[in-house]
Structure 1
Amino acid sequence: MEELLQRLASLDPAAEGAVRAIAYFDKLVEGRAGLEAFVRAAAILAGCPAGLHDPDRHVLVRMHPDGHRLEAGSFHGEWPMVELAGGEGGRVWLERDAGPSPTDVIILERLAVGVRLVLDRTRGRGPARDPASVEALLSADISANVRRQAARRIALPADPQVKVVAMLAEPDSAVPESADLSRWSAQLGRVLAAIVPADLEPETSVRIGLGPAVESADLPRSWHGALQALRLTGIDGPRRVRFEDLGGMGIIAERISPADALVDDVLAIRAAQDQIPAALATLTALVEHDSLRAAAAALYLHHSTLQARIPRLATILGYRPDTAFGRNRLHIALVLNRINLNGPLP
């Protein structure tokens, strides 16, 4: 083999590098090496950090080319990578901003094959999606024993904390597919519920409510909190709401039905929207910012232009929205408006 490598090096350095990489990984396979050894080999051969992420098995490994393990980090879309076969969202990558060289392609392909062999040998195949088991885990009416069985079926870890993400797409769009959000998910009515690690902040364009972090046995509480948070999202307001940020607003979200939320102050907001262009955006900015100047800047208006709108808005609303009391009243009205527009949720 060494003689062949030397001859290839004199003829084609790239081919010599590819054969050397194949031989390196073949030795690791024969020696039944572990995950770190495979990722370390890729980093050394490529001369840059290499990574592995298998979300089905909660495996994340990054290695430096000098051989030491790096802290957990996210994959960047511009890095060369190869997806792992047989799972959802699993990949190996090289942390190189330039495009992959021919040798990089060989390294990644051999790394992916080796990693898959190790994972299948040591941790079994990744679990298939099982929405029924996810639904059982979120139900408060299911016994603890049935919930434990459901957690085992989807390979949900018992120790790390998790949380529920409740997602609601707009009528003309759909909840996007994502490995992080589809692995442990179930469609419950109009809402897609997903169980995710407690520290995950999912990136998605749809409106989401984030439940509190809990042990897996307490997932119904996180699901309940995620729905409360989701009820307070809106096209006119926040698209991502955390249960921990609700405070007393959580009681409003929990106890007021969409029908009961349609009070006179909500009807007044809708009347203002019908009569004044961008009234809803203006009222939302008044609530979300501490001053007229800050609200005007958010609306890309001069503060005097915004100030001139206030009297007409006050006439329609029945109170001035730029006073302390008026802002509080307007804030509650906007919250009720979102609850009504969101309609019944699971």
Structure 2
Amino acid sequence: MEQLVERLSALDPEAESAVRAIAYFDTLIASRAGLDSFVRAAAILTGCPAGLHDPDRHVYLRIHPDGHRLDPGPAAPAWPGADLHGTAHGRVWVERGGAPTTVDGVILERLAAGVGIVLDRTRGRAPAWDPAGVETLLSADADPATRLRAARRLTIPVELRVRVVAALPLRRSGADPVAAPEFGDPVLSRWSTRIGRVSAAIVPATTDCRELPLRTGVGPSCTVADAWRSWAGAVTALRLTADGTPAGPGPRHLCHDDLGALAVLTERLAPADALIADVRALLAAEAATAGSLATLSALVEQNSLRQAAAALHLHHSTLQARLPQLQAVLGYPLDTAAGRARLHLALALHRIHANGMLP
């Protein structure tokens, strides 16, 4: 090998660097080095931070060329990278801002191969999608031993804090049927299933679901053994969501942690029981003037009439002129604290009624 390197050095310095990189990674493989060693080698050889992300096994690693670990962060699309074989979305990369070199490609290929060997040796193959196992973890009727076996089968780390996400798709129109969505994010899709018309996913407690193009309720943080409790909280939160459109105003994403006393009411109220006189008044207002629900939602979501008008893209005097008609249909004032509280509760009950029965 040394003789080959010396000859290549005289002919093509870049080829020499590529062969040295291959030899370096082969040595790491032969010595059964760990993940840190492989990623650190890529960072040193390229002079750029290097990273690894395997969402199937929840492995995330970034290392600086000087050898110290960096905070986890997503790989930029422009950075050179390589896919991890045998994973759905695993990837390694080097954080080079300019055009990648030929040696970068060699390093990334050897990095991906070495990381794959280490992951298979230390963590086993990532399991196939197992919706039945997820459903077992979310079932209130499953005994603890059965839940533990399901968690092991899904390779969910025992120490991992998780939340459960309950999701429904956004309606394209008021007449569209509601169907369970597919989770596109690999972190969400690995431990997911469908229960009734709702999609459910177990995710690490730190996962941010607010950017998903879905309506989501997020349950409280818990251990894997208590995922069924988080699922119940997620469904409660989902019952209070809406599409966030003029036709379906209201929050698209809600966390059970933020509901407070409203969670207690929602858990105990059937959709049919939510159709009280105040909710019928909301429906009457919308029937009389399209957009009334969006107007009323803005009034309770914003801190002032001017802010509500800005959210509705109206002049505040225009919104002020609409209030008497809305108050007449609702039967109570909207410019008092009691009236706004009553409206806030009525809108929540309206969403409970509109969402119908959920698991």
For the aligned pair, the TM-score class normalised by the smaller chain equals over 0.9
Percent of paired sites with the same residue: 58
**Structure 2 counterpart of 1:27, one-letter code:** T
Provide the C-alpha distance between the structure 1 equivalents of 2:165 and 2:322, rounded to a whole number of angstroms.
Answer: 38
**Structure 1 counterpart of 2:316, one-letter code:** H
Q: 1:100 to 1:30 in 2, by over 3 A?
A: same
| Mapped pair 1:147 → 2:147 | yes
| Mapped pair 1:92 → 2:95 | no
Provide the C-alpha distance between the structure 1 equivalents of 2:99 and 2:195, rounded to a whole number of angstroms.
Answer: 42
Q: Which residue of 2 aligns with 1:175?
A: 182
Out of 199-208 and 238-247, give the one that drifted further. Answer: 199-208
TM-score after normalising by structure 1 = 0.94
Question: Does the Cα contact within 8 Å between 1:168 and 1:175 map onto a contact in 2?
Answer: no
State the SS of the aligned residue for 1:61: strand
| Mapped pair 1:229 → 2:234 | no
Question: Does the Cα contact within 8 Å between 1:185 and 1:194 map onto a contact in 2?
Answer: yes
Question: Does the Cα contact within 8 Å between 1:167 and 1:175 map onto a contact in 2?
Answer: no
State the SS of the aligned residue for 1:260: helix
Shift of residue 222, structure 1, vs aligned partner? 0.7
State the SS of the aligned residue for 2:142: coil
| Mapped pair 1:324 → 2:337 | yes
Shift of residue 43, structure 1, vs aligned partner? 0.8
Question: Does the Cα contact within 8 Å between 1:85 and 1:116 map onto a contact in 2?
Answer: yes
Q: CA RMSD in A?
A: 1.9
Q: 1:255 to 1:38 in 2, by over 3 A?
A: same
| Mapped pair 1:70 → 2:70 | yes
Q: Which residue of 2 aligns with 1:212?
A: 220
Q: Which residue of 1 aligns with 2:262?
A: 249
Q: Which residue of 1 aligns with 2:285?
A: 272
Provide the C-alpha distance between the structure 2 equivalents of 1:8 and 1:263, rounded to a whole number of angstroms.
Answer: 83
Shift of residue 79, structure 1, vs aligned partner? 2.8
State the SS of the aligned residue for 2:332: coil
The number of residue pairs the alignment matches comes to: 346
**Structure 2 counterpart of 1:292, one-letter code:** L
Shift of residue 95, structure 1, vs aligned partner? 2.0
TM-score after normalising by structure 2 = 0.90
| Mapped pair 1:192 → 2:199 | yes
Q: Which residue of 2 aligns with 1:108?
A: 108
Gapped regions of structure 1 (runs ≥ 5): none
Question: Does the Cα contact within 8 Å between 1:62 and 1:71 map onto a contact in 2?
Answer: yes
Q: 1:6 to 1:319 in 2, by over 3 A?
A: farther
Alignment deviations for residues 92-123 of structure 1 (CA, whole Å, 9 cap, x no partner):
12223445333322222211111001111122
Provide the C-alpha distance between the structure 2 equivalents of 1:274 and 1:238, rounded to a whole number of angstroms.
Answer: 22
Question: Does the Cα contact within 8 Å between 1:175 and 1:206 map onto a contact in 2?
Answer: no
**Structure 2 counterpart of 1:297, one-letter code:** A
